[in-house]
Amino acid sequence: MTIHYNFHPLDFNDFFYRCMTIKKTRNSQNWQQALAQVITNPDELCSHLALDKKALVDAHPAIQQFPLRVPRGFVSRIKKGDLNDPLLLQILPQGIETQNVPGFSKDPVGEQNVNPIPGLLHKYKGRVLLTLSGSCAIHCRYCFRRHFPYAENNPGKNGWNKALEYISQDKGINEVILSGGDPLVVKDDMLREFISALEKITHLKRLRIHTRLPIVIPERITEQFIKSLTQTRLQPVIVFHCNHANEIDDSVMQAFNLLRAANITLLNQSVLLKGINDSVSALVNLSETLFNSGVLPYYLHLLDPVQGSAHFFVEEQKASELVWQLMQELPGYLVPKLVKEVAGAPAKIQLGIMMNCT
Ligand SMILES: *Cc1c(COP(=O)(O)O)cnc(C)c1O
Ligand code: SF4
pLDDT tens digits, one per residue of 26-80: 778 899 999 999 999 999 999 999 999 888 889 999 999 999 999 999 999 999 9
10 pLDDT tier (thresholds 50, 70, 90): very low
125, 339, 142, 26 alpha-carbon torsion, rounded to 10°: 70
What is the CA(146)–ligand 2 centre distance, in A?
8
* Phi, psi angle pair for 76, to nearest 5°: -65, -15
151 or 138, greater pLDDT: 138
User: How confident is the model at residue 211, as a pLDDT?
Assistant: 98
Which residues line the pocket of ligand 2, CB cutoff 6 A?
136, 138-140, 143, 145, 180-182, 212, 241
- Quick one: which of 272, 319, 264, 322 has its CA closest to 295? 264
Q: Sheet harboring 349-350: ordered strands across?
A: 120-124, 127-131, 175-179, 206-211, 235-241, 265-271, 296-301, 337-340, 349-350
Residue type, 240: F
How crowded is residue 58: how many other Cβ atoms within 10 Å of its Cβ?
13
Task: Check pLDDT > 70 for residue 25.
Answer: no
C-alpha 127 chain-centroid distance: 19
Which residues line the pocket of ligand 1, CB cutoff 6 A?
121, 123-124, 127, 129, 177, 348
- Which secondary structure element, helix H or strand E, spans residue 128, and what is its range? strand 127-131
What is the CA(68)–ligand 2 centre distance, in A?
12
Q: Whose CA is nearest to atom 7 of ligand 2?
A: 143
Coil vs helix vs strand at 338: strand
What is the CA(152)–ligand 1 centre distance, in A?
21
What is the CA(124)–ligand 1 centre distance, in A?
7
277 or 57, greater pLDDT: 277
- Which secondary structure element, helix H or strand E, spans residue 58, and what is its range? none
User: Which tens digit of pLDDT belongs to each residue from 76-114?
Assistant: 999 999 999 999 999 999 999 999 888 888 877 666 666
